[in-house]
């Protein structure tokens, strides 16, 4: 083979390798774009689902607060709280009776039953 033929063959091989390198770069870029758009789409879908769930839960809480406020709404001009007497667990007049019942079981003199 002559030098000219070898040079032509070398040039053709270099051109083919350059073409393969360009094709590889293009393919990798396309794969990267597809992967990124797929991840973005999934991310956007997940964010939408989270926001929708959050809005639903917020609406339920707002409804609960509104219902609670309407049930427990005492107008400022109402006197109901002044008419309700404070209740103790044990009425004050019952204390001597309770201590009398409890002291019957105590043996203060040391004599049992």
**Residue spans per domain, the chain:** 3-76
Output the pLDDT for position 55. Answer: 94
Residue 71: φ, ψ to 5°: -75, -40
CA distance 101 to 90: 14
Per-residue pLDDT in tens (0 to 9) along the chain, 113 residues? 788 899 999 999 999 999 999 999 999 999 988 888 888 889 999 999 999 999 999 999 999 888 887 776 667 777 776 666 565 566 666 667 777 666 666 555 655 55
Q: Cβ(98)–Cβ(88) under 8 Å?
A: no
pTM for the model stands at 0.41
CA distance 50 to 80: 45
Structure-token pair, residue 54: 């959050």
Q: Cβ(103)–Cβ(97) under 8 Å?
A: no
């Amino acid at each position: 083979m002559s030098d000219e033929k070898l040079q032509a063959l070398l040039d053709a091989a270099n051109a083919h390798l350059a073409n393969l390198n360009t094709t590889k770069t293009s393919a990798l870029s396309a794969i990267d774009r597809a992967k990124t758009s797929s991840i973005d789409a999934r991310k956007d879908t997940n964010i939408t689902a989270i926001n929708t769930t959050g809005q639903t839960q917020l609406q339920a809480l707002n409804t609960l607060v509104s219902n609670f406020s309407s049930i427990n709404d005492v107008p400022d001009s109402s006197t109901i709280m002044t008419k309700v007497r404070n209740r103790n667990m044990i009425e004050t007049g019952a204390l001597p009776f309770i201590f009398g019942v409890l002291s019957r079981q105590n043996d203060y003199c040391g004599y049992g039953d």
